[in-house]
A and B are shown apart, each in its own frame.
Chain A
Amino acid sequence: MDAMASPPEGNSLARQHLIDPEICIRCNTCEATCPIGAITHDARNYVVKFDVCNDCGACIPPCPTGAIDNWRVVPKGSAYPIEEQFEWESLPVPQAFDVSDTAALPEEVERQTAEARRGEGGLVRAPASAATPAVNLYTVSNPIQAKVTGNFRLTEAGASADVRHLVLDFGGNHFPVLEGQTIGILPPGRDVQGKSHFIRLYSVASPREGERPGYNNLALTVKRVTEDHEGRPVGGVASNYLCDLNLGDTVQVTGPYGSAFLMPNHPGSSLLMVCTGTGSAPMRAMTERRRRRIAMKEGGELMLFFGARAPAELPYFGPLKKLPTSFIDINLAFSRDPQTPRHYVQDLIRERQEKVARLLQDPDCYVYVCGLKAMEAGVLEAFQHCCERAGVEWPALRRTLLEAGRLHIETY
């Protein structure tokens, strides 16, 4: 792995699996099921060994009580030892930064999320002022149905990329999301081996009150996948399914997921956003949230670095151009635009180094990076460059950012 993308030391949090002693009936099923001996007991409690448990989830379905389904986010190195767990009569109160979901996520969601957030180097806390997210309300075995109420192309007709803005409506059912969260889509049908397709995760592109305020709906930004990262032709199962949906069709949805990549809620907080392609979805959600609240004059700055091949392929290009510069500082980078020199987001970050360095050091500024994995190392290098020019030590600042829940990276 690139040195820039490797996890920084000593900053990260970990998810600790715990058993609720108030609900557990000491039936031994979890201990009997665990394939690696991570669960043990004494005369009082059943407990999970933090250093042994690998989060495989084998113990979850056999538990008759749900006591097994408990998690706490703890600083690595300060996990609860089993000696302490043996003494518990109830679970400890979650620590302030712990916004972990109370339930284990589907394996495929965990895998995709871990891969997307590798650059953060462990569990990162949410901004302290973020709203509390609802997580994992709907599962693979119990998905929620949403109705398609909008599906239109964001990229121009001639552009090679088919990026779509999809609106899903949940009718009378409760499906709360926050900007930055993702949802799972269950594509119908089966793969060539006869198995159900995996869940595919999509970032929500609309703010918490809905794509249309007051409606129980949300928007997704979906790019039709026709080739893989190396350019070989493939048909993305979920993206093609979503892009081809008609109004009125129903979609099976799981989630919501994500409890750290969230925006701050406090007045005066600033957002530094870097994205490429459909990585713009969470940025669009956050920007739209702030736009709708412009009249409240909450303060704080918005700065956006947005990369695409060409203007015609930039999702939300039209609406973006209409936003006042006093509201958001937009920097567009085009890598294949005949009209302009080849530019990547990291080039623009370097060009704007003074402001970027100032924002990175501002304790009220929160940084979000979302898009293709290829840009991650380049963006972090650009941040380092900006810091060096400003006489700031980047590795230490990076740790500070991660510890404060101020740096969030999601790449794929």
Chain B
Amino acid sequence: MSIDYQERIPNNVNLAQDKTLQRALEHWQPEFLSWWREMGPDGSTDFDVYLRTAVSVDRDGWAQFGHVKMPDYRWGIFLNPADPNYKINFGEHKGEAAWQEVPGEHRANLRRIIVTQGDTEPASVEQQRHLGLTAPSLYDLRNLFQVNVEEGRHLWAMVYLLHRYFGRDGREEAEALLERRSGDADNPRILGAFNEKTPDWLSFFMFTYFTDRDGKFQLCALAESGFEPLARTTKFMLTEEAHHMFVGEAGVGRIIQRTCQVMNELKTADASRLRAAGVIDLPTIQRYLNFHFSVTIDLFGADQSSNAATFFSSGLKGRFEETKLGDDHVLKGDAYPILILQDGRIVEQQVSALSSLNERLRDDYIRDSVAGVGRWNKIIEKAGIAFRLLAPHKAFNRKIGTFAGVRVSPTGELIDEAGWACRERDWLPSEADRAFVTSLMGRVTAPGKFANWIAPPAVGINRQPVEFEYVRFN
């Protein structure tokens, strides 16, 4: 099969001249399309979707809007422009020229980092594949599909690195990325949160707010990498990742806004009356928040990790905003505070900064997440309602790290198993909560119309009106 590379696969990696890469992609691209048809958005093949496509990394090519059928989406390969002075900015190689090819001694670690990141991209598409059937508006349906095609492009970005820099085992890893399946007992996705279901739109918005934000922080850490192709690739991915977090933050915000509006109309905070009116009560939103927050912070891994230390010291994965930090960027002998259990209490302890880099990235992530929760609270405050959402304590509902299996309340008190059992329903979504949220889900397809449980957005996409026909079903 022959492909017109410039037209079919927009790129700035000189694909038209790179025969090796062409051969690898000729094999992989049809497999990707067949994965998309099998595991991509359900029943969407013929829809014309108003999508943003990147055809180059400059100002005019970054965001081209138009209606396209998703299987025809032009998944491209883009790296941020190269910086001729780019250096390794941290770890033991600090100050040396950045690597343009994979250093032999770091090959296995780099491949593992890229595969782990790459695996999350198709995983989230699989998790979200049925959501299109219950989209609350054409606007939201379009945003879901935009997220999906960009996750697809992020997969392409990682596969490019595997094909271009890792030879045969890279090609095998690229194929395996299309073979694992989210939630499959025999061949699951690598990370836990990517095997959870995304059964409803509240979950989807929470996922894009919290879990895609984990993606942002991982990409930010990789954007500092001494392996420059990885740094340049992830920098460009970050530009797209921002859209996913927008979908999450604005989506949850619009649900909150609609709930507050009905609370004021009915002059009630009573959950059963609000549910009867067809909106999601704020305590239920808090429970979803608790769940997604806690599941997502597990993704950063164990509080203390020798792998994390190795990735840093060898210059593969930096910290969040590494080059803006004011220390020596080597961290030997430095300390960092983590939380531990001591004599039945949660206390802070100083440990090696190098081994606690996962915890540090988790803390950066938490700060960023909490700021957005504050913006949701502004909506509630503006509506004159006394309720406030809270991000739960870092030790709440953890499955990984020091607090795995330890019972801690959302406000950070250690409790026993019985205490947990009687309060769990207040803190995490129950089956009944999920069943109620699911009961609200139904597809709204008229342009400009929105499901009753969510407010319309303040502005449309690409300056289009909110009532624009963002998806045509044909």
Interface residues of A (CB under 8 A from B): 22-23, 25-29, 32-33, 43, 56-58, 60-66, 69, 89, 103, 136, 139, 141-142
Contacts and interface: CB of A to CB of B under 8 A. Distances in A.
B462 interface: yes
- How many chain B residues sit at the interface, stated as a range, is 20 to 34
B112 interface: no
A69 B463 CA distance: 9
B306 to A, nearest CB: 30
Given A23-B458, A141-B462, A142-B464, A62 B246 contact: no
Contacts of A22: 458
Contact of A57 (B59, B216, B235, B239): B59
A25 B459 contact: no
Interface of B: 59-60, 62-66, 216, 235, 238-239, 241-243, 245-246, 249-250, 368, 371-372, 375, 378, 458-459, 462-464
A26 to B, nearest CB: 6
Given A25-B242, A33-B239, 7 more contacts: A27-B242, A29-B239, A62-B239, A64-B245, A64-B246, A89-B378, A141-B66
Given A27-B242, A61-B62, A64-B243, A43 B371 contact: yes
Contact of A62 (B242, B249, B372, B378): B242
A63 B235 CA distance: 15
Nearest to B464: A142
Contacts, number: 62
Given A25-B372, A33-B239, A61 B464 contact: no
Contact of B463 (A43, A89, A139): A139
A157 to B, nearest CB: 43
**Which of A22, A33, A103 neighbours the largest number of chain B CB atoms within 10 Å of its CB?**
A22
A141 B65 contact: yes
8 A-B pairs closest in CB distance: A27-B242, A61-B63, A64-B246, A64-B243, A29-B242, A64-B242, A61-B62, A25-B249
Nearest to A138: B463
B245 A27 contact: yes
15 contacts: A22-B458, A23-B458, A23-B459, A25-B250, A26-B372, A27-B216, A27-B245, A29-B239, A32-B239, A62-B242, A64-B242, A66-B463, A69-B463, A142-B463, A142-B464
Contacts of A57: 59
Contacts of B378: 89
Contact of A142 (B216, B250, B462): B462
A28 to B, nearest CB: 8
Nearest to A69: B463
Given A58-B59, A66-B459, A142-B65, A25 B239 contact: no
Contacts of B238: 29, 32
A63 B62 CA distance: 11
A22 B458 CA distance: 10
A141 B64 CA distance: 7
Where chain A touches its partner, the secondary structure class is loop
Contacts of A27: 216, 241-242, 245-246
Contacts of A43: 371
A28 B463 CA distance: 21
A62 B371 contact: no
Contacts of A66: 459, 463
Nearest to B65: A141
A26 B242 CA distance: 9
A359 to B, nearest CB: 40
B472 to A, nearest CB: 15
Contacts of B243: 64
A294 to B, nearest CB: 37
Given A23-B459, A25-B242, A62 B65 contact: no
**Which of B59, B249, B371, B464 neighbours the largest number of chain A CB atoms within 10 Å of its CB?**
B59
Nearest to B459: A66
B69 to A, nearest CB: 18
Contacts of B63: 61-62
A61 B243 CA distance: 11
Nearest to A30: B242
A148 B24 CA distance: 51
Contacts of B458: 22-23
B59 A61 contact: yes
A57 B249 CA distance: 25
B63 to A, nearest CB: 4
A121 B130 CA distance: 57
Contacts of B64: 141
A32 B66 CA distance: 26
A66 B66 CA distance: 17
A25 B245 contact: yes
B250 A65 contact: yes
**Which of A60, A61, A64 neighbours the largest number of chain B CB atoms within 10 Å of its CB?**
A64
Nearest to B239: A62
A54 to B, nearest CB: 13
**Which of B62, B241, B463 neighbours the largest number of chain A CB atoms within 10 Å of its CB?**
B463
A65 B239 contact: no
Contacts of A142: 65, 462-464
Given A25-B372, A61-B62, A141-B64, A103 B242 contact: no
A28 B375 CA distance: 16
B371 to A, nearest CB: 6
Contact of B246 (A25, A28, A136, A141): A25
Contact of B62 (A26, A62, A136, A139): A62
Nearest to A89: B378
A80 to B, nearest CB: 21
A88 to B, nearest CB: 12
A108 to B, nearest CB: 11
Nearest to A141: B65
B81 to A, nearest CB: 11
Contacts of A139: 463
A26 B371 contact: yes
Contacts of A32: 235, 238-239
A287 B224 CA distance: 63
